[in-house]
Structure 1
Amino acid sequence: MTRTVVLAGGVGGAKFTLGVREALARREAPPATVVVNTGDDLWLSGVRLQPDVDSIMYALAGQNDTVRGWGRAGDTERVNEELQAWGAGWPWFTLGDLDLGTHLARTGWLRDGLTPTQVLERMSTRWDLGVRMLPMTDSEVDTHVRLADGTVLHFQEWWTRHRATLAPAAFENPGIGDAVPAPGVAEAIAAADVVLVAPSNPVVSIGPILAVPGVRDALAQTAAPVIGVSGIIGGAVVRGMADVCLAAIGVETAADAVARHYGARRAGGILDGWLVAEEDAALVPAIEERGIRSRAVPLWMTDAAASGAIVDAALELAGV
């Protein structure tokens, strides 16, 4: 039996989670618990959006738009057009009609008094996802981007409207210091046989999860090995603008630099092992000198089978 916990967010996290589900099914292991970033959540036009939660849920359900990389497949935008005609919402942030149904259901349940954890549990019953999904926290800790001139933008405005072209000085999650892990998160990490850190954005996807008080402590105390997968291949990001985020915190866009950013668990960081791409095999010795086991394997997540092979390599590195 392999009890697996995954820390994930974004499209990279969604693809990786598909691989986790496939690899564990082949092993006849229990479904993984996926702790999802909720730092890029937001309120828009009166509804609560959870972009990373929905990206992973839609991917597992086979409902995601693989061409755009976000939202529901085959969606339409009639309601979005009407909202824009009223001057409501953000004209550069599209809400698909099917996607809006998800947001309305979520918002209604939240206003009925359910917690985000309870809402996600209810939403997870619609499709056979093959994993247990948990938000990182039930608190609202949206990510804000502080620019050099002091201007503060919601992460989604900086990311979607400005395409990360405005140089960030810092990323902040107001209120996160008072947050606690969502029910089940710390318990799942404590009981795990392996914890996997998905190849998600280290700053704005994995970073907020690790910033929730109690999560790092849980990772430090678990008997399970913690294995991360690099989202940097050959010195370049696979998708998105993680390079801009990394530069803002003084981290080079390189697989070994991100490993140093996370740090070895025995030195106060979070990693016991770190998978890098074949293109970065020369970096393995330097990573291992930092006290982090490392191996170079193919890391392109071209389909679920390729993602599953990456998960197999991570589990092998963990020794489970």
Structure 2
Amino acid sequence: MDPARIVVLAGGVGGAKFVRGLRALVRRTASPAAITVVANTGDDLWLAGLRVTPDLDSLMYALAGVNDDVRGWGRAGESERVSAELAAYGVGWPWFTLGDLDIGTHIARTALLREGLPLSAVVERLSARWPLGVRLLPATDAEVETHVVTAEGELHFEEWWVRTRAALPALGFVQRGVESATAAPGVREAIAAADVVLLAPSNPVVSIGTILGIPGIREALRDTAAPVVGLSPVIGGSVVRGMADACLTAIGVETDAAAIARHYGARSAGGLLDGWLVDETDAAAVDPLRAAGIAARAVPLWMTDDDATAAMADAALRLARR
């Protein structure tokens, strides 16, 4: 059975690369598959009076083909005159530079939010500008921001990630407002109707973990008839991108492909996963994971380009069909 409805839970830069490869696979095979991406919103913040949504924007820009591939985030061909002016006035975070085109997106988003539109409607309105080839949904319309508990106090995740480069040890993570949040319209319905659900190789703690923390989403994954397959963001004991190892250490999970799979847990034992892909480097983890109730397979997991990433996505769909 070729899946017609694919749902992906994803973070920002890594998630965007994976979804772009999945889209390339669908287009290459002339499949009628529809892709829905549920994006992490825990990195969102108010800055200089603007609502900034880093992961949603990384996904939108990458799928639109206007992202900066060199930096890995933001728009290509950016200038930063507005950020320089804000810094001169002492407004915002001088270490969190926004490009002028990017600021245009934030102004548009903030204006629509101020008009009373929920974030999900704003995302639909903004992403309609480009033929993304996917349906992009925020995990929630509520403001659920991830904060990091440190010995020096609580920091917004972006401050801990960008300003301190995760050098300040994290003692824990708090999603402010998560208790009263609900999944954005369409999220639970998409999961329930899916033929397959994929967990992108995104940060298991502050990207996928934050999505799973929204009331109702974890339950939707457990209840769906679709197989749930994840891809490891760790290869050979090292994170593929970013500083997810610092996040994993904070919650007591080893930076290891099999350890992350066990963190998610086998759906047959009350967890989330039916299947899990590890890199060929971590092939020794396959048999123990299978014994734990998670169908596992070792394949190349380096997202070097769209072709390599499409092959990863194909392997995930093949594992789901099994």
- TM-score bin (small chain): over 0.9
Paired residues of 1:21 and 1:31 also in contact (CA < 8 A): no
Aligned pair partner of 2:299 in 291, 297, 300: 297
State the distance in 1 between where 2:233 and 2:18 align.
Answer: 10
Query: Deviation per CA, 1:130-173, whole angstroms, max 9, x where unpaired?
Result: 00000000000010001135x00000100000000000111110
Per-residue CA deviations over 1:223-276 (Å, capped at 9, x if unaligned) read 000000001001100110000000000000000000000000111111000000
C-alpha deviation, 1:287, in angstroms: 1.1
- Structure 1 residue matching 2:241: 3-state secondary structure: coil
1:42 paired to 2:45: yes
> SS where residue 93 of structure 2 aligns?
coil
With normalisation by structure 1, the TM-score equals 0.98
Partner of 1:115: 118
1 CA distance for matches of 2:30 and 2:276?
A: 22
**1:281 corresponds to which residue?**
283
Return the offset for 1:24. Answer: 1.9
Give the residue type in structure 2 aligned to 1:68: R
Q: Give the alignment of 1:305-320 within 5 angstroms.
A: 305-319=307-321
- Which amino acid counterpart does residue 237 of structure 2 have in structure 1? G
Match of 2:235 among 223, 233, 236: 233
- Counterpart CA distance in 1 for 2:55 and 2:253 is 23
Matched, 1:270 2:265: no
Task: Give matches, 1:1-320, under 5 Å.
Answer: 2-25=4-27, 26-149=29-152, 151-319=153-321
Q: How many residues align?
A: 319
SS at match of 1:70: coil
Shift of 1:27: 4.4
CA separation in 1, counterparts of 2:33 and 2:126?
Answer: 20
CA RMSD of aligned residues (A): 0.9
- The one-letter code of the counterpart of 2:84 is E
SS at match of 1:228: strand
- How much has 1:221 moved relative to structure 2? 0.7
The one-letter code of the counterpart of 2:200 is A
d(CA) in 1 for partners of 2:83, 2:227: 45
Per the alignment, in what secondary structure is the counterpart of residue 133 of structure 2? coil
Moved more, 23-32 or 4-13: 23-32
| TM-score in terms of structure 2 length | 0.98
Q: Which runs of 4+ in 1 moved over 2 A?
A: none
Q: Percent identity?
A: 65
Q: Which runs of 5+ in 2 are unaligned?
A: none
Q: Distance in 2 between matches of 1:145 and 1:169?
A: 7
Cα distance in structure 1, aligned partners of 2:12 and 2:123 = 16
